[in-house]
Amino acid sequence: MHENNGLSDRRRDVLAQVAAPCLNPSLRSQQCKRRPSAKILTISATLLLLALSSLITPGLPVSCEAKPSQADEAQYREAVKLWEHDIDSGEKALAMLDKLLARNPDCLTYLSTKAHWLIDFKRDEEALVFVERALRVNPKDKRCLELHAKLLFRGPKNRWQEALKSATLACEGGQDSSLYETKSEIEIKMGDLNGAEATLTQGIKNMPLSRDLKLDRARVRMKKRDWRGVVQDTSTILDDWHPGLLSINRQCTSMKLKALQELNDKAGLEAEFKKVLSRDKNDRLNLSEAKKYFEKKGDKKSVAQAEKMLKEFDSYCVP
């Protein structure tokens, strides 16, 4: 779940959201044009804001609500390239997009792109205007609905109910975890933990393999002190162990251990620390916690195993 109410200003996310309408099953029947993706580029951290380039295509798909001319499509691609490659030319790219919108006022892709670019400039109120224009073109567009919810949620509290309405519409039949995350964030801020849990449960029902949604639900259950629910969610994630997901694995392990402690499940707690010694060789924090636990237990064999794993970790990771 996102740590704040804001929107990511990384341009990699921007293009993913802009292109989403043509990936929407409800729009495929209208024969949206799709073009081959370019190879993802490797960029330095200092150019992270230019990460839009990793998803740029030779011909960015245009929503079926409006069909600009080939010349306009070419100009749109030029505007995107300008925005992508030269952050200082953002205003020029916006000006180019304005000309395209003057000729294609109902092009969902152009409207959505304009909204995202304005958000990059921290001009949220202007962005909201273009999102609402896009929703007049297609009131069911899930990406625009989600963006509408996020923009309203960033504003005064008296707009949060409207934000929740848009987020709810976005979630109807949604197959993207971010839709449910956005709605649950709003519900949590509004104090509706039961509503947030229900939203995430529906998301998990639609996307049973989503680790993110299960982790988010575990967090909500932590807030509700539903310790058995926390154990259930974290166990599901940890049972499908993936060594590359260090952050998720660490959070799940920490939350599960906390829940087991609250439940006074001594057997479960010891079993989980044993699992840490068998699987968490790349997580120094969990290994250290396991060592402390077994020291208190007087389990010299497990302490020795933890110390060995910590020494191996340090020999690889500490210069």
Residue 269 CB partners (closer than 8 Å, separation 6+): 257, 260, 261, 293
- Per-position DSSP letters for 244-268, written without gaps between them: T-HHHHHHHHHHHHHHHHHTT-HHH
The token pair at 49 is 């804001």
- Stated pTM of the model: 0.73
Q: Rounded to the nearest 10 degrees, what angle do helices 142-153 and 124-137 cross at?
A: 150
pLDDT at residue 87, as a whole number: 66
Task: Please give the Cα distance from 105 to 66 (Å, whole number).
Answer: 8
Fold of 1-138: 1.25.40
Task: Please give the Cα distance from 302 to 295 (Å, whole number).
Answer: 8
Domains of the chain, by residue range, sit at: 1-138
Walk along the chain (319 residues) and give the pLDDT tens digit of each residue.
444 444 433 344 444 444 444 334 333 333 333 333 332 333 333 233 333 333 333 333 344 455 889 999 999 999 999 888 866 788 899 999 999 999 999 999 999 999 999 999 899 999 999 999 999 999 999 999 999 999 999 989 999 999 999 999 999 988 899 999 999 999 999 999 999 999 999 999 999 999 999 999 999 999 999 999 999 999 999 998 888 888 899 999 999 999 999 999 999 999 999 999 988 888 888 899 999 999 999 999 999 999 999 998 888 765 5
pLDDT at residue 48, as a whole number: 34
Tell me the C-alpha to C-alpha distance, in Å, between residue 239 and each of 267, 270, 273, 275: 18, 16, 14, 10
pLDDT at residue 65, as a whole number: 57
pLDDT at residue 317, as a whole number: 66
pLDDT at residue 279, as a whole number: 86
pLDDT at residue 291, as a whole number: 94
Q: Where are the alpha helices (DSSP H) in 20-65?
A: 25-28
